[in-house]
Amino acid sequence: MTFPAKQYSSIAAYFETYAEQIAQALASVPKSALAAADILLGDAMDADAHVYACGNGGSAAISNHLVCDHVKGIQTDTALKPRVHSLSATIEMITAIANDLDYAEVFAYQLKSYARPGDVLITISSSGDSENVVRAMQWAKDNGLRTIAMTGFTGGRTAKLAEVNLHVAADNYGIVEDVHQSLMHVLAQFIRMRRMPRDLVAARKF
């Protein structure tokens, strides 16, 4: 059932239902896909490959935030030196490509310059169907990159194109984005935790 499906008379009641929806959405993420994403990212970092992320709107913010947690976070107390970049943070490139070429090319065009086979692309899109994200995913698939798609709603085209699909079974943008943010944190924290000395885990803040 869609959320919200009715008007709420109080913000407290809305909050309680929202929290319930968040719990259901978190539980809906396939654990096998989460395990596959962990292995894929860990292998890429071990191989010194580059990881690229992209998304629009709130998903762009998650893409940018991902860089911090997957670079600074994972590097702390581990031997890993992650090479992670957000294609959504390059405002000069984005506006130039959008203005001179096509907004649908803003991410794929950057990948053509930066990415090499064996690198990883993470797309973040609630619908899974934003044209610029789909084009980036298709280019990555056609050019030897490994791919992870974070999706919601019906999954869209990126769900079908990606090697790993972290799908959130929800149709509310806020809930899908909240879970995508959580998945970003879970992956970063788990990779860090598994690679750091066992006796430091309880001593550090995550």
pLDDT at 95: 98
Give residue limits of the domains in the chain: 11-200
Residue 1 pLDDT > 90:
no
**Residues 6+ away with beta carbon under 8 Å from 31:** none
**pLDDT tens, 131-164?**
999 999 999 999 999 999 999 999 999 999 999 9
Cβ–Cβ < 8 Å for 79, 200: no
What's at 145, amino acid-wise?
L
- The confidence band for 13, taking pLDDT boundaries of 50, 70 and 90, is very high
CB–CB of 83/48 below 8 Å? yes
pLDDT at residue 10 above 80? yes
Reference 128, options 174, 168, 91; nearest CA is: 168
Task: Return the bridge partners of 53, or none.
Answer: 86, 122
Burial of 14 (0-12, 13-18, 19+ CB in 10 A): middle
Q: List the beta strands (DSSP E) in 87-138.
A: 120-124
The per-residue pLDDT for range 65-117, each reduced to its tens digit, is 999 999 999 999 999 999 999 999 999 999 999 999 999 999 999 999 999 99
DSSP state, residue 202 = T
pLDDT tier at 58 (50, 70, 90 boundaries)? very high
pTM: 0.97
Amino acid at 105: E
The pLDDT assigned to 122 comes to: 99
Fold exhibited by the domain 11-200:
Rossmann fold (3.40.50)
Question: Looking at 87-205, which runs of residues are DSSP E strands?
Answer: 120-124, 146-151, 164-167
